[in-house]
Chain A
């Protein structure tokens, strides 16, 4: 058991966990922040995605010892009230079905749009195809990503 400080959604959190505990379990079990989902534990589904410096990372692949002193944004911290362009676009395009994978998908889309403010179909495929939605919400996700890109551009101008 070790004392480890991580920054989650801008707040410093000091946790007492085993060093090898993956970040997903620190978030979910230790901090009771369940918006970050467990889906596979081996980095193939994307449900546990969180952001670090705006970039999507898989919290099941980051042991607490490595998460130390790093800063992460989870779905709970993406915006004060679902007003991030990706969240708005997700609601406007009615993306979600069961919704379980969607926090990870939304954060993955945020990361994509940071790197590619006007993504092509190929860029969307590349960024999003590491994640799984068994309900098959991909057609609407694609539309939502385009809409979010537009919303972000409007915000800037």
Chain B
């Protein structure tokens, strides 16, 4: 059976987290145990004899602030002195078998296990102090790196308790702190990596330096699967600094003493690639295939029959929405450094998937997993691209070939042309209105493509409703109370690589759903925001597949943006407009946006202001949550208004930020964020959820400004010309 991506990530997150219980003091830091007294009751917490508190971070840092927020959770329960903690990044190994970062699941999945780990350590330190004072545990408390004796105000620093605490059994069920007693959690907390970032000391994968290392650049085939008909390497070999030319799995690699020599050598290669076949992948053709597929019946992902007494459909509204390919385009290009020896391999890599990478490298080299050491660096932008491991396999292959450590560095063009793109999709929507103009029927078919990063699913693969629902978040979990709902998925193969991209399958679905709902509102002459609220007036809790939609939370965020944006206020200026959209991401984070746009006579859209209301459960670090909302809005502006990836003759046509434009400072709106207090006991995700509803909010505003309905992203030049 093939595990759905969502299920995979959840399992991964829970598995790595649950290991905490099984850790003991001979585990992760066993090699250092011989040294002075040290207390490491589990894989996440270590306190040295000098009082240094070292916290292990099991998630990759790629801008979401996870090193800070996970440390906050541990330090809170540990009652550590925040100003003195150190962080180490977890590496795959016996104690960390499922490291992986994605799905906006880092905080939700780590919340309980890390609190538990911190609390267990704190209880052991308190128990050690209580034993020394010969008092009951209840006479003691802990704060800021000390155990305090309540009656006498005596105190013992954690450093003094390390040796005794290390001898105590780890409590299985330590008490957790009450939210009212939190000192760190929920408070705006600065990035622990902030100082390193602004001084240039922060080390990303690309910054890896290893003695004796060589540098490689790979000339890649123009289209997937192309073979070199002829390759002339002489000139390249003569470029000063070039050490070796290695024909490899993903192209012809030039290995050199420094990066520039590798790039220059690569440019000097004369490779004749075989021509693309006549039917090579073309995104225009694919758009038409998707459009046709969206009219097929596909797999039903949700079906709700109208209750008796529902009015008959008197008229229908229908539309097809088109969504293009996008690149991730992180600033740090793909790269990896590998040092392969006969019996082992060491890797330094910015990756979201450390264990999957370790397994893939071990597999490719014929080594055991234990022989492959993976060091996870800071990541200069992940967005899902670094769940794939292609760059690591290249580095390992080349290091083995040249018997030296090798850093493979992709160029910007490599990164833009050979990504694992967000896949295109088409959405066909129908709304049925009864004789009284009540929305009584909703149909939404998504024609899209499951990721093809992993092994192709065999015939035994179970393709049940859960599988297809996973591919169509935002479609089947439509939150609105419509008597008859039918959602479907049609799977269409794509021969180019495509994989998770920030918020994965949701953006196209939420764009089409929220824009089409806007069409229905306007068709009925209804206010789009009031129309949404009216459609959320059914039961508060609705089940869709494995998800529970909380309409109360969604109504609340809509009501907040209505009030804060001044919705329904004075008539906007000509070619100015206001739009609304909302979404529940994967059943947890609830977001509503109101966007104000201005469209100039040439048709250029400028997003002037965005008001956001968010219910993301318990907020661990308000700074981090706000950053993710701001970043999600800018991400959406890029995909609504700027670059897309197109294919001709099997090749991506774009090659840099010049032709795959992303948002810049001058595209930045005024942003007003309202994070609502939430009684939810745990945090929801925030990396991805801000992305999906921003694009429809912008497009609905564009309609309000111009009367033109954009059903294909991104907006094309001249499309909105006055």
Contacts and interface: CB of A to CB of B under 8 A. Distances in A.
Interface of A: 1, 18, 20-22, 25, 28-30, 32-42, 44-45, 47, 74-76, 78-79, 81-82, 87, 90-91, 94, 96-103, 106, 124-126, 128-142
* Chain B interface category by residue count: 35 or more
B665 A129 contact: yes
A128 B665 contact: yes
Contact of B63 (A34, A94, A135): A135
Nearest to A81: B199
A1 to B, nearest CB: 6
Contacts of B241: 18
B627 A134 contact: no
Interface stretch (B201-209, B282-290, B646-654): B201-209
Of the listed residues A1, A38, A42, A78, the one surrounded by the most CB atoms of chain B closer than 10 A to its CB is A38
A133 B209 contact: no
A102 B197 contact: yes
Contacts of B635: 136
A67 to B, nearest CB: 13
B423 interface: no
B233 interface: no
Given A134-B381, A136-B635, 16 more contacts: A21-B260, A28-B207, A37-B204, A47-B331, A82-B195, A82-B198, A82-B199, A96-B63, A97-B65, A98-B381, A99-B196, A100-B330, A101-B380, A128-B666, A132-B662, A134-B662
B629 to A, nearest CB: 10
17 contacts: A25-B260, A38-B206, A42-B412, A45-B331, A45-B412, A75-B198, A76-B201, A94-B623, A97-B65, A98-B332, A125-B666, A136-B633, A136-B634, A136-B663, A138-B634, A140-B630, A142-B668
B480 to A, nearest CB: 29
Interface stretch (B12-20, B186-194, B392-400, B591-599): B186-194
* Among A29, A81, A142: residue with most chain B CB under 10 A: A29
A128 B663 CA distance: 12
Contacts of B388: none
Contacts of A35: 199-201
B658 A128 contact: no
Interface of B: 61-65, 190-191, 193-204, 206-207, 209, 215, 240-241, 258-261, 263-264, 329-333, 378-383, 409, 411-412, 623, 627, 630-635, 656-658, 662-668, 671
Contacts of A141: 665
A139 B332 CA distance: 21
A143 to B, nearest CB: 11
Contact of B197 (A40, A74, A99, A130): A99
B632 A136 contact: yes
Contacts of B207: 28, 34
B657 A132 contact: yes
A125 B194 CA distance: 24
A40 B656 contact: yes
A87 B198 contact: yes
A22 B634 contact: no
Contacts of B260: 18, 20-22, 25, 29
A125 B606 CA distance: 13
B656 A44 contact: yes
A137 B198 contact: no
Contact of B258 (A29, A44, A129): A29
Contacts of A139: 630, 668, 671
A33 to B, nearest CB: 8
A81 B195 CA distance: 9
Interface of A is mostly: loop
Contacts of A18: 240-241, 260-261, 264
B203 A34 contact: yes
A33 B668 CA distance: 32
A134 B196 CA distance: 19
Nearest to A86: B198
A97 B63 contact: yes
Contact of A39 (B199, B261, B412, B671): B412
A128 to B, nearest CB: 4
B258 A98 contact: no
B380 A140 contact: no
Given A18-B261, A40-B656, A129-B664, A100 B631 contact: no
Contacts of A42: 412, 656, 658
Contact of B411 (A41, A75, A132, A138): A41
Contact of A36 (B196, B200, B631, B663): B200
Contacts of A140: 627, 630
A98 B668 contact: no
Contacts of A96: 63, 191, 193-194, 197-198
B511 to A, nearest CB: 18
Nearest to B669: A139
B330 A134 contact: yes
A41 B413 CA distance: 10
A22 B671 CA distance: 39
Contacts of B378: 98-99
Contacts of B194: 91, 94, 96
A138 B663 CA distance: 9
B63 A25 contact: no
B411 A98 contact: no
B657 A45 contact: yes
A100 B386 CA distance: 15
Contacts of B657: 40, 44-45, 132
A25 B200 CA distance: 16
A80 to B, nearest CB: 10
A71 to B, nearest CB: 18
A50 to B, nearest CB: 11
B665 A138 contact: yes
B674 to A, nearest CB: 15
Contacts of B203: 34
B654 to A, nearest CB: 12
Given A45-B331, A100-B332, A128-B664, A74 B627 contact: no
B199 A91 contact: no
Specify which of A37, A78, A91, A138 lies most central, judged by the most chain B CB atoms within 10 Å of its CB. A138
Contact of A97 (B64, B264, B409): B64
A134 B331 contact: yes
Given A18-B241, A76-B199, A142-B665, A136 B631 contact: yes
Contacts of B193: 96, 99
Contacts of A82: 195, 198-199
Nearest to B215: A29
A79 B63 CA distance: 24
Contacts of B668: 136, 138-139, 142
A94 B197 contact: no
Contacts of A102: 197-198
Nearest to B194: A91
Contacts of B209: 32, 34
A87 B258 contact: no
Nearest to B407: A29
A99 B623 contact: no
Contact of A138 (B200, B383, B664): B664
Nearest to A84: B198
Contacts of A25: 258-260
A36 B215 CA distance: 18
Nearest to A79: B199
A85 to B, nearest CB: 11
Contacts of A40: 412, 656-657
A99 to B, nearest CB: 4
A50 B656 CA distance: 21
Contacts of B663: 136, 138
